[in-house]
Structure 1
Amino acid sequence: MGAMFIGFGTVANVVTVAVGALLGLVVGHRIPERTRTTVTDVLGLVTIVLGVQSALTVASPALAAEVGSAGVLIVLGSLLLGALTGSTLRIEDRLEAVADRLRTRFAAEEDAGTFVAAVVTPTLLFCVGPLTILGSLSDGLGRGADQLLVKAVLDGFAAIALATTLGWGVLLSAVAVGVIQGALTLAGFWFGDLFTAGQIDALTATGGVILLGLGLRLLRIRQIPVGDLLPALVFAPLLVALVAAL
């Protein structure tokens, strides 16, 4: 399935998230609290499945060809460096502060914790996964938007589930999807084949571990500061290049 134009996948994704959030807001009050909680739990479980599937990319032949048996160490190193960088920069706190400012300006009557979660949680869910990065780069390289179109469908249903539980703040995550995926698509368009296959696999595996953390948050098992781990996605391809050069 080819794209109508470069960036089509991101446009489709923004639309499905927005429509899904609106549908969730419309039907949310008609769904019992127990059902809404169960739907969110299902979303958490699926996120963990996607995270495991992506994390297993650490054993890919392409990554092994570039770094030998150091794939797991690269993912671990990326996450540790990402955690140190993210916590120093207080990325998670800054994301929550931005969401809280939006609540104060546009939805002061809503519960602060719920609104912040409604903005931050879906933004991380929709923008951290490997499909976001790989799909956006593929779209920018002119290889088609197939991956992003699949992601758009998944995100649309996820937005329905999240909006029924967390409220209208989920709608704002559509803006983040447009900005982040749009930037990655432009990067693919401007810089061409930016990463080697091994670097992409390391990035995918690292993103998978971050998704696992997000799944634990959705299941209310542990509130891992996933936002602070985001710099790991930058360190992963850099460490692959470093190890491969040694």
Structure 2
Amino acid sequence: MVLLGTIVNGLCIILGTLLGKVLHRIPEKMKTTVMHGIGLAVVILGIQMGLKSNQFLIVIFSLVLGAVLGEWWDLDGKLNKLGLWIERKIGAKGEGSIAKGFVTATLIFVIGAMAIIGSLDSGLRQDHRVLYTKSIIDGFTSLVLATTLGIGVLFSAVPVMLYQGSIALFATQIEKWVPTDLMDAFIADMTSTGGLMILAIGLNLLGITTIRVANLLPGILVTAGLVTCVYYWSNMVHFVQTFL
């Protein structure tokens, strides 16, 4: 079943959030320290991912162009408006709490190599091990986030499942028209680009910055375009040199 890993991931987020709400009486100081611990771990993960690319210029251009597109489209504002709309619909108290939980959790669970690589493995080989691993991590993360950011974390399961499920379904056809070398190059550069976004999320969780990470998300699409252009340009140059 192509979508099995994605479904398990969504269920783990929901279960973790519900457990987090049950354990909401955790002392405030403990919550703060745990959140700082998660923030530090996310920072280190982002740094590790950010160093994966061998063509860092692509990563830089992806972030710059992605930021321009993200600010133009105001993705961060739209995500926050969606969170506030959910908050109004369920009649929650504490303006902005659900929106913050929804946006923060969505960014943490969606951005990163595991979401894309795991979804590709599910679609290409029906191998769900990467997404199972991500599900365990996301489950524990959502539990802790829910104790601090509230029930909004639960709603992040929806975009996570839509995002990963779409990639998995797309991947069932991808081998027919995307060369393996191109896919490998994209995954490496996408990992670095996503890693820097993960780093920004960690800094936000630590309260060091207030980076609008959602407005950097188009950088992933820019990465795909740049990697494709570089790949075919290199092949064309190689072809011309062969016959000169």
- Following TM superposition, the consecutive aligned residue runs of length 4 or more in structure 1 with deviations greater than 6 angstroms are none
What is the CA distance between 1:243 and its match in structure 2?
Answer: 2.1
> 1: CA distance between counterparts of 2:219 and 2:116?
13
Equivalent of 1:120 in 103, 106, 109 = 103
Structure 2: which 5+ residue stretches go unaligned?
234-244
Structure 2 residue 161 is the aligned partner of structure 1 residue 178: yes
> 1: CA distance between counterparts of 2:194 and 2:175?
21
Q: In the alignment, what sits opposite 2:135?
A: 152
Equivalent of 1:57 in 52, 56, 59 = 52
Structure 2 residue 89 is the aligned partner of structure 1 residue 105: yes
> 1: CA distance between counterparts of 2:31 and 2:91?
22
Q: In the alignment, what sits opposite 2:202?
A: 215
Aligned length: 229
> 1: CA distance between counterparts of 2:69 and 2:8?
33
What is the CA distance between 1:143 and its match in structure 2?
Answer: 4.7
TM-score, normalization by structure 2: 0.90
> 2: CA distance between counterparts of 1:161 and 1:240?
37
Q: In the alignment, what sits opposite 1:203?
A: 190
Give the SS at the match of 2:224.
Answer: helix
Give the SS at the match of 2:125.
Answer: coil
Structure 2 residue 53 is the aligned partner of structure 1 residue 42: no
Letter in 2 for 1:180: Y
Give the SS at the match of 2:210.
Answer: coil
> 1: CA distance between counterparts of 2:107 and 2:224?
20
Letter in 2 for 1:242: C
Q: In the alignment, what sits opposite 1:8?
A: 4
> 1: CA distance between counterparts of 2:100 and 2:80?
8
> 1: CA distance between counterparts of 2:39 and 2:91?
26
Letter in 1 for 2:108: L
Give the SS at the match of 1:6.
Answer: coil
The RMSD of aligned alpha carbons is 1.2
Alignment check: 8 A CA contact 2:83 2:98 kept: yes
> 1: CA distance between counterparts of 2:133 and 2:201?
20
What is the CA distance between 1:49 and its match in structure 2?
Answer: 1.4
> 1: CA distance between counterparts of 2:44 and 2:127?
25
Equivalent of 1:241 in 221, 228, 235 = 228
Q: In the alignment, what sits opposite 2:124?
A: 141
> Once the two structures are aligned, what percentage of the paired residues are identical?
37
Q: Which region of structure 1 is more displaced relative to structure 2, 140-149 or 79-88?
A: 140-149
Larger Rg: 2
Distance change >3 Å, CA 143–CA 55, structure 1 → 2: farther
Q: Once the two structures are superposed, what CA deviation does each residue of 1:71-115 show, in whole Å capped at 9, x if it has no partner?
A: 11100000001000000000000000111111111134x222222
